[in-house]
Structures are given as structure tokens and as C-alpha cells.
Structure 1
Amino acid sequence: MTLPSVRILHNATDVLRRVFGYESFRDGQQEIIEHVVAGGDALVLMPTGGGKSLCYQIPALVRPGTGVVVSPLIALMQNQVDALRALGVQAGFLNSTQQADERRAVEAAFLAGELDLLYLAPERLRVRATTELLDQGEIALFAIDEAHCVAQWGHDFRPDYLLLSELRQHWPEVPRVALTATATPATHQEIMARLGLENARHLVADFDRPNIQYRIVAKNDPKAQLLELLRTEHPGDAGIVYCLSRSSVEKIADFLVTNGIAALPYHAGLDARTRAEHQARFLREDGLVMVATIAFGMGIDKPDVRFVAHLDLPKSVEGYYQETGRAGRDGLRSTAWLAYGLQDVVQLRRLIDGSEGDAAHRRRLSSHLDAMLALCETVECRRVGLLAYFGQENTAACGNCDTCLQPQQTWDATVPAQKLLSAVLRLQRERRQKFGAGHIVDILLGRRTPKVGQHGHDSLTVFGIGTELSEAEWRGVVRQLLAQGLLAVEGEHGTLVPTDESAEVLRKQRTVAMRREPKRLSRSAAAAPGKARRAAPADLPEEAVPVFERLRAWRGATAKEQGVPAYVIFHDATLREIAARVPSSLAALAEVNGVGENKLAKYGQQILDALAQADSGAETDGPPHSDCGRSVSGP
């Protein structure tokens, strides 16, 4: 290693220890940080919770000038800045939520060289006053967060991100680092091309999140299924429930509240003030469940989200991975749970057919959905399939997903597939009619419903030929035929039509294997940590649990006094380590991961006092050195 590199590494490592309270870098961080500090460009693909932010925060603190962070997350900038200030980092932001005097104060601090980091929304770079401001100050680097937003191939394209290609032309000497947690090889290439990062240093980290248990179940009674999950596996835990529509969000939130679970809705139909209030409460309070559309979540830096549940099928694997990645950012055991059914597939196919854009755009959407369906219907390890989608091949089965914990079975569904396809084809050819899945299943089961009788479908040769399967099993056959491209959805009513490949099945030129609907995973299996390649963090020893709860009570009241989220004080993982170690001095406390110099000076003695009181069996109705005896569960 050259002498300049040793100097750079020493400074970066010093910042890591003093400011952030960690002894060593994670895989790949050191190389990227050293490269950016030396003035090089970088493209970082790293999973949520993997430490992406340090790849620009530390270089911004080591290099002269202010690190400018371009982020689409206006609603979260205040929390990001609060978290940095709690570490002793001088940070600020400029966005449309500020009053004029607030903006002027931040601008003055930037011009005076008093800011380590400045957060901007991408659209602000279109404002001439912003570029003129940046030209007058010293810029340490540009960090482009959520860089997948520049890629039209990706799932979250933002036109404003296309402007960021001009950063190199306007500030050619300033290094740029683009970062994302969600990128397939195709998206990776598009980010590189659109931002002009062909010569940048690339870091593609391991996308695995071994602490997350992935589970996908057939949708039966989704509200009841969700309620059981929350009551049996995550009582009192913070989590996110994703729904496809605004009305579903409202209904599910009301349902959870009625059943004694603290829940809030979040969707684009709510006014901005309500959305901001609900988001703030979710970040600041313990144990809240946010029921939301995908309008919620990007950049949510709440480390103790213990579960992410989907009640509707995500449109892409990228979206699913990003959304589930909001669970367990602290590395502790968490759940990603998805319930999906036939109607989800029909609805998404219909949305794709009616979407704006050209045929290529619809093909792109269809390919995203096909990949998501393949993940849902796989009989192999879900994690292996998920990682393969992001280009991470040759991984071993994880032992911590539903298909590993309860191995799946396949069955020869060729004959049922022929019966169903034949029913669809006969209706289309003999009667010139098309119907949805429910009516087709009624015909196969021989049900003389009013609709069947009205159209005379009880006279069809396929009427009643499918009594060997139940209605639920037939709906599973339809769903899997759609997933395999052997059946398609057409029109706004979601009617079923054969595909070109259907003929091969009907002519007995192709067999059809299907995934047998599994029985519900037992609670003991669901709770098992599994055999992840990197074991999920162990639970606290029983004797440390009261200490941990004492520390959480102190943290909650302290956070409420300061008006910041609890994780800004300390993450759960740090409190767990403190509870397990029970340090008796400030020097011993400083050795705990996540306890940097600023937090040690600010909170160190309070923590030692809390540990002493916990050891003596004192009541835990408030934090040491605080006159606050208020509940920590308010807004």
C-alpha cells in the first residue's frame, strides 16, 4: 500500500471509530472509501442496512469541503440530518419544506465552510440559484443516493435524476459516488451509462440479508392471515404492511386497530400534513404498524422494523427486494411475509395491458411480473432465486425461508392443465365467449350456477370433468398456468385466453409440473433461525432482557424530550450489546459498536446510571437524569 493510501485509510478509520463508533469496515467499504477520498468516482450496490451511507459520509468528513448528497427523500431529510448531528456531524438540507430564513441559514453555513454534509433533492439542481450557491462553496463530493431512480429499466424511475449526468460537466474535479440497494445487472449497466460512471470503481456487495426470513403463502383470508402473523410472531413489533390500493390500506389499518394493534394508514390520497404526521409517528414511536401503498418507505431509516408484510403481489422482484429490505436494518431477526393469490396475477396482468407507453414498455413490465411470479411459485430456496435475480449465482440453500424450512413438493398437473385449457378454448371457439377464472372453475366442477345456466354451459363436454380437485386447487392451477405463460389475461374484466404455448399442452407435447400448495408453516418452524450462511444474531440471554428494556425506556424518553426518533439516540443492536456486556465504565462503554465519541460524551453517564439502577432492581418509569415520566408512545 502506498504512503498516501495509508494516510487516507488512517483518517477514514479514525472517523469510523471516533464518529460512528465502529472498529472495522465491512467488506468492500474500505476500498471504496479510500478511492473516493483520493478523488475517484464510485458506483456502490449494497443491500439495505449494509452500510452504504458510510461510503459517502466518511469521505465527506475526510476530504476538504462539504459533501453534497442528492436524495429524493424530502420527507426524511430532517431525520437524516438529526441522526448525523447526534453523531457530532455538521449537516443541513435545502428543500421545499423550509421557510426562507431556514434556507438562508443553511446557505450561509455552506458558504462559510461550516457544513460537513448538505442534502438536496434532485429537482433543486434545476434551479439556477442552487448551482450558483454550489459554485461559491467548496464541494468535497457528490453522493447520488437511490441511484436506481435514474434507470428506466428499474422499478422506480425519476426523470429528475437524468439531470445528474451534468454533474461531471459542471464540476469535473469533484468525485461522484452513486449508491443503491436495488439493481439487477441490467439496471447496474443503465446507472453506469446514464451517470457517466464507466471509469468509476464499482462495488457490488453481497445482496443477501440472512437475518430476514422470506415466506410466501397462498392468499386465503388475508386479513385473518395477517392478524395471526402479527399476534403470534410479532406482538408489539414495528412493521410495514403493503397493499396495492388506497382503499385496501384504509380497510386494513382500520381492521388492525379494531383488533387491538396500533396501526396507521399511508398513501398518496392523504393530505401532505397527515402523511408527514404518520411517518413521523412511525419513526419516533415503538411498536407501530404502518399500512401503506408503495408511496411509503424509500429511505426509511428505522432500524427496528421487525416485519414487512405484503397483502398484494409486488410488481417486480426489485420492488419486492427493496420493500422487504426495510425489515431488520439492525441485523436482528425479521420476517418478510407475502400473501398472494390468483386475483393478484389477474389484476396486475390487466394493469400492464392497460398501461401507458409503447409495446416495449409493456414487455418490460411483463418481464418484471414474470420474474416475481417465478419467485412465488419456486420449489427451490427463495433466497437462492432472489439473489440469482440480482446476478448472485451459485449460492447455497439458506435454511431460513419457507421452502427450506418446509420443503416443497411438485405434482404432474398435465391432465388438469389440459382440462382447464380445453374449457377456455371451447368457450372461445364454440361459443365465441371469454370468461374469468371463477366461471371456468364452476364449469369444471359441474356447478349449475345461474350464470352457467344462463349461457347453457352445462351442456359443454367439459362440464363437470374436474371434480377431482377442489375450488382452491383449481384456482391454484389457474394461477400457476398464468405464471408459466400457458394462460393469459385479457381485457378489463380479466378474462382468460390461451397462449401460443397452450397448444403444446393440449397436443400432449408438453408436460406441466406444478407446485403443490403447502400446508401452513408451523409457528416453531417460522420462528426458527434456520441455517443461514451467516447466522442471524442470537436473542439476548434471559438475564439481559430486563436490562435491555430498561435501556429502551431510557432511550424512548430521551428521544421524546429531544423530538427525534429513538434510533437517533442508539439502535436496538447497540442497546442489546450494552445489555449483554453490562459495561461498568465509560472506557468499557466506548468499546461497544455504535458508541462514538459524541454519543459517549452526551449519553455515557446516563447509560451507566441506567445499568446501575437495573442491577439494583429500581423502577423503570423514566430515564436517569431526566424529569420526564411521560409515556414514550405518544406522537
Structure 2
Amino acid sequence: MESTLSHYFGFDTFRPGQKEIITKVMNHQNVLGVLPTGGGKSICYQVPGLMLGGTTIVISPLISLMKDQVDQLKATGIRAAYLNSSLTKKEQQTIETQLKQGELQFLYVAPERFDNGYFVHLLQQISIHLVAFDEAHCISKWGHDFRPSYQEVIDKVFALPQDFTVVALTATATAEVQRDIMARLNIDKQDEIKTSTKRPNLVFQVNPTYQRQKFVLEYVTHHDKEAGIIYCSTRKQVEELHEALIEQDVNSTIYHAGLSNKEREAAQNDFVYDRVRVVVATNAFGMGIDKSNVRFVIHYNMPGDLESYYQEAGRAGRDGLKSECILLFSERDIGLHQYFISSSKADDDYKDKMGEKLTKMMFYTKTKKCLEATLVHYFEPNEKLTECGQCSNCTQGNKTYDMTHEAKMIISCIARMNQQENYSVIIQVLRGEETDYIRYCDYNTLSTHGIMKNYTTSELSHLIDELRFKGYLNEHDEILTCDTSVKALLNDQVSIFTTPFKPKSKEVVSINTVEGVDRVLFDELIQVRKRLSEDLGIAPVSIFSDYTIEEFAKRKPESKQDMISIDGVGSYKLKHYCPKFLDTIQTYKAKI
């Protein structure tokens, strides 16, 4: 096993989880592998495929992903090919002949290829010992990238006459999605291999800025030696941001589904081969991109779920070096995703599930807890959590409330319970509540029953969460237990701090607001917009919305630099529209 790894791939040792997965495959056990993005999933079918012989069939979702994998295998002397719509008829025939003659060690295909009767007949005649489902989350309806064809192909695969093993691999599958994959592929629970989703070299940040374009331009300028991906929700945003980057002389390209195949391939190659250092893209870009030195991934908009976010952000730092994953968040992003869900033609169950995923995505943008631990907990609720110490929440320095005393009370209560319990029961006992269950367990007789009766349920949940995210409490199937590290806490060797959660009754709140809208100036700017509209033949609100005009009339910007910080002003509008508005503002200010 190690000799195959070393000979073909140049590694002396396996990464976590790889050897366990390969061992199960070699023992002819169907297996699901859940490894983090960049964790080396392809090795998990490539090594056993080489050892077992015959042709390994790899079911893959994207043409670009197939091409990258095949190119890498060929570069190591392995006979590999793909069959997809990008090939000419003659090229497909050549590969089919190679397949028939047993010349291919790996064949990559999309699930739709199994709709071709000739292809299926061809497969029935060759030696197949292993079938791999790459990006296996596409199988599950509850996955973030569900593809019906991935489900439909399963029966066709299992109908093949050969005695083969199945390996399914993914990086972004919740516990629910994992169960669905295993049920559909006949994988036993004990044949699931999971490693932590932690990527210690990734620094996660959430930035709720309203000046997104300004942030991106400044960030990219300050990181002018680094390669990065900037994800936008719409093609229009991609093109506008790219134009702004070009104006800043940033060597960049764009990628979205509105481009031709040739244009998309050129953009991808330019990025991979370092001809450009930044790509601005929709989520159509990235899966299978073989570029390990992406130093930053910026999300210009909030994705609709944490699976999508983690997979896209995880394209940073695959070489193990420090990289940044930055999410620029605005409340407006929520409305867009709510519209997508409500206008979907999916059934109500699916819409409800997508709504739940959106809620958890929103929670990520607002939580004060460690961002890395939040992601880990989402994908694997039973994993022991620790704070990363480097995300934007961990470094914010806003945990000023000393909760050491409360932590001791909570831990003492949990330790005294005669069986392990979940959050809600622990909170009920701490608050001194009397339920049939609490009386049945005699929890109402504990000295800690009601010890925190003056705290609300949400406050206690906040405190327990803090202990969980710091690793003092562990969770398994929603049951909380004390970690061995609580000894240091109980022995007064450590103190625990959290974000303040109790309202301060006489707190003085200082609010700095921009002056109100100058209605006289507002009316003048509306007239400027009207004249521009007539000259250009476009609707007034396409130039600037009333909201943006109000911001002009509030802030009275004096320069383009002032204007670019106002929501609704992009680089194109800054160049073509703003000068007339600036002239009017300057003339108005000179009169008052």
C-alpha cells in the first residue's frame, strides 16, 4: 500500500483517514470516506484501484474535474481517460477501444453516461473491481449540490455483473447526508471513515461591511503577490467587480455560466497557470481546480448554506500554508436566498430543509463563537471542539465577562446527575424547574437544583455553549459530558470569559449617526439623475436608487473616494455618473 503511494504519487505516508479507507476497499467492504477539502480524497480510490487491477470506474460531476484528475494521473504514468461531451466522436471511439482492450486503469464518467446503452454494454464486458463516487454529497437530496442523475445511476451501477467494491468520497456532508449516502450505496455504519473538518491553516473571517467593493479593492491591492478567488452571487456582480479590479490594474479574470466553454476553460487555465492572480466567479467555478497556492477566498455575498461555503472557502490553502477565508455579509443577502427558496419548484419538505440550512448560515455570520469550531460542529456535532484562536471572533477581544463562577455551577450540576443528559434537561435542573422526568430522576433533590434560577434559558444556553466551544464539555448524540480539562477550572487554575450576555440596566448607549437628508440637495440631485436618464436613455433608478441619492444628500461626498464608500456606487457608475453629482454637491455646499 505504502509502496504504491510512494511509487506513483511520491508520498511516504498517508494522510489521516486515507489508509483506513483503502484498507476497507482492499477487504471488499463498501466504504464512505468524509475527508476535509484538500484532504486527499482521490488517493483513496486511486491507490486501491492500482492495487486491484482492472479498470476503476470513477463517477464524477464535472468535466473540468475529470480533466484535472486524468491529467494528473497521466503525469504519473497511469493510464487514465474520461468520456464526456467535450470529446469528439472519434476521440470517444478511441477511448472505448482502449477500454475494450483493457488498456485503461481509470475511466472517469458523468452519471449521465450510464444512459447510453452501448456504454453500459461495454462496461459489462471488462474487468471492474472498484467503482468510486467522487463528490458523493451529490447523491443526497439533502446535500448542497444534489444531482438527480447521481441517484438514478446507482441502480445501473449495481446492475453490472462484476463483483466490485464501492467507495464514496466527499468533504461536505452533514450527518443527515452521510446517512442518506450510506443507505443508498449499501454501506454499513462501521464502514464510514471520517476525519475532522478542521483546516488549521485557514483563517476564517466574517466582515459585515456595507462597502464590499471598497474592501475587496483594498484587500487585493494589499495582497498583490497572492492568488485568490472572489465569489459573487450573480454574473452582474462578477462583471462589475472585475471591471473595478481592472481599473485598479489588478491582473484578474472572470468565470461564470454565461461564458462559452472556451472562455471558461481559458479563464480556468489562466488562473491555474498563474497568468492571472485573481478570478472573480460565481459558484460555477472551483470544483476540482488543481491550484494549491490559493492564498485567499473572499465571498462577496453570503452563500445559502454552510456546505457550499465550506467547500468554496476550502479551495484556499490546499498546500497547508496560512490562507484567509473572508465572508462579506449583508442583510440583503438573506432576502435573495429566501426568494430563491420560495420561488423554487421543489416540494415543501425540500424548501423547509433549505430554509433550515439558510438559518444556520445566518447564524454563522452572527455568532460570537469561534468560526472554525462553528463549522466543525455543523458537520460533526459529536467532535470535540476547541477554539482556533485566529478567526475574526477569536481575535476580536470582546469576551470580557468572567463566567468562571457560572461555569463551576454548570459543571457541578452535570457531574451530580445520575445519568448523562442533553442541553434542555441540564438547563431545567439549573433553573429549578419541576417536571415529571426531573422528579423521576430525583434531580429535584440535587443541591444544584435551582442553583441558577435567576438566569434565563437563553443565558444558560449561551454559557453552556461557551463551555462546549472551549472544549470543557463534550457532546455525543446531543448528550453533554464533562471533559477532563474541567479539573483545571474547578481547581482555579484557569478563568473563562465570554461575551457579555446580561443586560446592563443603566448602560449609556452612544450612537453616531450621519446628519439627516438635506431635502433641498436631494431634490437637486434627483434633477441631475433625471437629466442623465434622458441623455442616456435608461431608467433613473438604473443610474442610482433613491436610497443612494439620499446617502449623497446626507453625507455630501466631496470626491470619488468618498462616493465609492456609499452603497450603490460601483466602479462603472463612479466613472460615468458620479462627476455630475459631485459638481452639483460642490456647487450646493459653496452656496450654504
Q: Same fold (TM over 0.5)?
A: yes
Whether 1:401 and 2:416 are equivalent positions in the alignment is no
Q: Greater Rg, structure 1 or structure 2?
A: 2
Checking the alignment, whether the CA contact within 8 Å between 2:295 and 2:323 is kept in structure 1 is: yes
Change (3 A) 1:77 1:357: closer
In 2, Cα distance between the equivalents of 1:209 and 1:59?
26
Q: CA deviation at 1:323?
A: 0.5
* Paired position in structure 2 for 1:205: 195
* Paired position in structure 2 for 1:295: 284
* Paired position in structure 1 for 2:116: 127
In 2, Cα distance between the equivalents of 1:444 and 1:221?
16
Q: Give the letter aligned to residue 279 of structure 1.
A: Q
* Paired position in structure 2 for 1:214: 204
Match of 1:177, SS state, is strand
Q: CA deviation at 1:292?
A: 0.8
In 1, Cα distance between the equivalents of 2:353 and 2:296?
30
Trace 1:443-458 onto structure 2 (pairs within 5 A). Answer: none
In 1, Cα distance between the equivalents of 2:514 and 2:188?
57
In 2, Cα distance between the equivalents of 1:219 and 1:26?
38
Whether 1:31 and 2:48 are equivalent positions in the alignment is no
Checking the alignment, whether the CA contact within 8 Å between 1:237 and 1:286 is kept in structure 2 is: no
**Alignment counterpart, residue 133 of structure 2, candidates 109, 130, 144:** 144
* Paired position in structure 2 for 1:496: none
Q: CA deviation at 1:414?
A: 7.9
Give the length in aligned residue pairs. 416
* Paired position in structure 2 for 1:265: 254
Q: CA deviation at 1:246?
A: 0.7
Change (3 A) 1:171 1:333: farther
Whether 1:19 and 2:8 are equivalent positions in the alignment is yes
* Paired position in structure 2 for 1:89: 78
Q: Give the letter aligned to residue 20 of structure 1.
A: F
Q: Give the letter aligned to residue 166 of structure 2.
A: R
Trace 1:98-247 onto structure 2 (pairs within 5 A). Answer: 98-166=87-155, 167-171=157-161, 173-198=163-188, 201-232=191-222, 234-247=223-236
Whether 1:319 and 2:308 are equivalent positions in the alignment is yes
Q: CA offsets, 1:194-239, max 9 Å, x none?
A: 223236721111111111110110122111101222222x313221
Q: CA deviation at 1:303?
A: 1.1
Which stretch shows the higher mean deviation, 134-143 or 53-62? 134-143
**Alignment counterpart, residue 265 of structure 2, candidates 276, 301, 306:** 276
Checking the alignment, whether the CA contact within 8 Å between 1:43 and 1:200 is kept in structure 2 is: no
* Paired position in structure 1 for 2:350: 361
In 1, Cα distance between the equivalents of 2:43 and 2:65?
18
Match of 2:393, SS state, is helix
Change (3 A) 1:448 1:226: closer
Change (3 A) 1:276 1:345: same
In 1, Cα distance between the equivalents of 2:244 and 2:367?
31
Q: CA deviation at 1:444?
A: 13
* Paired position in structure 1 for 2:47: 58
In 1, Cα distance between the equivalents of 2:55 and 2:262?
31
Change (3 A) 1:23 1:412: closer
In 2, Cα distance between the equivalents of 1:213 and 1:366?
27
Q: CA offsets, 1:543-584, max 9 Å, x none?
A: xxxxxxxxxxxxxxxxxxxxxxxxxxxxxxxxxxxxxxxxxx
Q: Give the letter aligned to residue 175 of structure 1.
A: T
**Higher RCO (CA < 8 A, seq sep 6+):** 1
Whether 1:382 and 2:371 are equivalent positions in the alignment is yes
Q: CA deviation at 1:445?
A: 9.7
Change (3 A) 1:212 1:177: same
Q: CA deviation at 1:172?
A: 5.6
Q: Give the letter aligned to residue 115 of structure 1.
A: L
In 1, Cα distance between the equivalents of 2:330 and 2:504?
22
Q: CA offsets, 1:128-158, max 9 Å, x none?
A: 1111111121113101001000111111110
In 1, Cα distance between the equivalents of 2:138 and 2:225?
34
Q: CA deviation at 1:64?
A: 2.1
Checking the alignment, whether the CA contact within 8 Å between 2:231 and 2:301 is kept in structure 1 is: yes
Q: Give the letter aligned to residue 129 of structure 2.
A: A
Match of 1:281, SS state, is helix
TM-score of the superposed pair, with normalisation by structure 1: 0.62
Checking the alignment, whether the CA contact within 8 Å between 1:236 and 1:287 is kept in structure 2 is: no
Q: CA offsets, 1:251-309, max 9 Å, x none?
A: 11111111111111111112222112212222222552111111111222221111110
Checking the alignment, whether the CA contact within 8 Å between 2:230 and 2:299 is kept in structure 1 is: yes
Q: Sequence identity, in percent?
A: 39
Whether 1:255 and 2:244 are equivalent positions in the alignment is yes
TM-score of the superposed pair, with normalisation by structure 2: 0.66
The alignment's C-alpha RMSD in Å is 2.6
Match of 2:327, SS state, is strand
* Paired position in structure 1 for 2:528: none
In 1, Cα distance between the equivalents of 2:245 and 2:237?
12
Checking the alignment, whether the CA contact within 8 Å between 2:32 and 2:193 is kept in structure 1 is: yes
Q: CA deviation at 1:415?
A: 11
In 2, Cα distance between the equivalents of 1:132 and 1:415?
74
Match of 1:264, SS state, is strand
Q: CA deviation at 1:75?
A: 2.5
Checking the alignment, whether the CA contact within 8 Å between 2:129 and 2:162 is kept in structure 1 is: no
Change (3 A) 1:249 1:213: same
Change (3 A) 1:18 1:349: same
Q: Which consecutive residues of structure 1, in runs of 5 or more, have no partner in the other structure?
A: 1-11, 417-440, 451-470, 472-635
In 2, Cα distance between the equivalents of 1:171 and 1:231?
58
Checking the alignment, whether the CA contact within 8 Å between 2:255 and 2:267 is kept in structure 1 is: yes
In 1, Cα distance between the equivalents of 2:380 and 2:207?
25
Checking the alignment, whether the CA contact within 8 Å between 1:47 and 1:208 is kept in structure 2 is: yes
Change (3 A) 1:413 1:228: farther
Q: CA deviation at 1:170?
A: 2.4
Change (3 A) 1:194 1:158: same
Q: CA deviation at 1:331?
A: 1.0
Q: Give the letter aligned to residue 227 of structure 2.
A: A
Q: CA deviation at 1:335?
A: 0.8
* Paired position in structure 1 for 2:362: 373
Q: CA deviation at 1:446?
A: 8.1
Q: CA offsets, 1:18-77, max 9 Å, x none?
A: 111111112221121122123221111101111111110001100020111110111232
Match of 1:404, SS state, is coil
Change (3 A) 1:280 1:413: farther
In 1, Cα distance between the equivalents of 2:56 and 2:360?
38
Match of 1:402, SS state, is coil
Checking the alignment, whether the CA contact within 8 Å between 2:68 and 2:289 is kept in structure 1 is: no
* Paired position in structure 2 for 1:605: none
Q: Which consecutive residues of structure 2, in runs of 5 or more, have no partner in the other structure?
A: 400-498, 506-510, 521-550, 552-592
* Paired position in structure 2 for 1:553: none
Change (3 A) 1:58 1:40: same
Q: Give the letter aligned to residue 394 of structure 2.
A: C
Checking the alignment, whether the CA contact within 8 Å between 2:64 and 2:288 is kept in structure 1 is: no
Q: Give the letter aligned to residue 333 of structure 1.
A: K
